[in-house]
Amino acid sequence: MALISKSEWARRQGFSKSYVSKLIRQGKLSLCNGMIDEDKANAREDLKKQLLKAKLNNEIYKGQIIEAQVNKIAAQYVSAEAVKKVVSARNRVIRDTILKIPDRVSSAIALLKDASEIHFLLTNEIRNTLFELSNDTTV
């Protein structure tokens, strides 16, 4: 029967002193004159299993917290691919709308002889087109 201190047995087992005190309070370890019978204590294999289980549960819990934090951060961002798709679709609408301007004004321009009238007509058409595009929320 080898009697050793609680702190020495804790060190040898890789436990904290507070964990050893907890085991004593729970009745899983007993003291003999304030010391631990190392042979008896070591025979309690389930103590190591309990500690490993507690450590494993602690690591799982930490992993779940980290995963939740990562998911929260990821939810704050939009994927670059999604942004590219939206911008590309919007650019196509703008391009197509601007390319339709000549079709809409060519016959009116053909009737005008004054450059200032042509300029006024084109400027108004471009301005109206850009205004419509700025208010278009379909894309």
Average pLDDT over residues 42-70: 85
pLDDT for residue 49 is more than 80: no
Residues 7 and 33 in one domain: yes
Residues 10 and 57 in one domain: yes
| Domain count for the chain | 2
Average pLDDT over residues 67-90: 89
Q: Which of 51, 75, 99 is the last residue of a domain?
A: 75
pLDDT for residue 2 is more than 80: yes
Residues 65 and 96 in one domain: no
Residues 85 and 121 in one domain: yes
Residues 7 and 51 in one domain: yes
Has this prediction a pTM greater than 0.95?
no
Containing domain of residue 25, as a range?
3-75
Decide if 14 contacts 52 (C-beta within 8 A): no
93-115 pLDDT, tens digit each: 999 999 999 998 999 999 988 99
